[in-house]
């Protein structure tokens, strides 16, 4: 799907449920993104089938499993999502805790932006984050997104920061 020097990003399959279960219950995910009520590997399979896989069919993109090219070790997820609550497609990323601070998120997010611009021909990409997620804010700015405004999305009481980049 998308390749970098060290990573391969590919579509999730139901076989990736153990990774989704671990990632969505990691401390960083829960702190910065929030619970998705994935309480078992079976719940994770449902999340993949109902939330992740339909995006590939409907939009031609979605969140991808980030894995090392060297040994196919899963490190997290990165990709693009079209939310009903946002005008633009947005980029998102999350790492398993043991892979944070190694440059994987930057590598994957940079390649995903290039894919969005060059292959998907998207003219504008957004990202949302909570104001206290300093690592994500730094990464969004490093890959070229700029703060636009604070927003609220339906069913989420927390104020979010909206970052964008335009390719027009």
Structural domain spans, the chain: 2-166
Specify the pLDDT at position 8: 98
Q: State residue 168's pLDDT score.
A: 80
Q: What is the pLDDT of residue 34?
A: 87
Which has the closest alpha carbon to 63: 30, 20, 102? 20
**Cβ atoms within 10 Å, residue 97:** 13
Q: What pLDDT digit, counting tens, does each position of 30-52 carry? A: 999 988 999 999 999 999 999 99
R_g over Cα of the chain: 15
Nearest residue to 75 via CA among 91, 95, 93: 95
**3 state DSSP class of 104:** helix
* Residues 6+ away with beta carbon under 8 Å from 83: 90, 153
CA 29 to chain CA centroid, nearest Å: 11
User: Of 150, 147, 145, which is closest to residue 125 (Cα–Cα)?
Assistant: 145
The residue among 146, 139, 152, 43 whose CA lies nearest residue 93 is 139
Strands 124-129 and 89-95: parallel
Counting as low any pLDDT under 70, the low residues of the chain are: none
CATH of the domain spanning 2-166: 3.40.630.30
Tell me what pLDDT residue 71 has: 96
- Residue 36's alpha-carbon distances to 62, 103, 145, in angstroms, are 17, 26, 26
Q: How high is the pLDDT of residue 155?
A: 79
């Amino acid at each position: 799907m998308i390749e970098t020097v060290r990573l391969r990003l590919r579509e999730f399959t139901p076989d990736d449920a153990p990774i989704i279960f671990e990632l969505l219950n990691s401390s960083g995910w829960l702190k910065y993104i929030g619970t998705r009520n994935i309480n078992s590997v079976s719940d994770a399979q449902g999340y993949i089938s109902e939330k992740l896989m339909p995006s590939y069919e409907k939009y031609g993109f979605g969140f991808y499993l980030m894995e090392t090219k060297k040994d196919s070790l899963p490190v997290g997820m990165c990709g693009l999502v079209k939310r009903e609550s946002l005008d633009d497609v947005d980029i998102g990323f999350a790492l398993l805790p043991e892979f944070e601070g190694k440059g994987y998120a930057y590598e994957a997010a940079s390649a995903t932006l290039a894919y969005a611009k060059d292959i998907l021909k998207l003219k504008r990409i957004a990202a949302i984050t909570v104001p206290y997620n300093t690592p994500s804010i730094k990464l969004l700015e490093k890959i070229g997104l700029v703060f636009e405004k604070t927003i609220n999305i339906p069913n989420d009481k927390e104020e979010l920061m909206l970052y964008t980049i335009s390719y027009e």
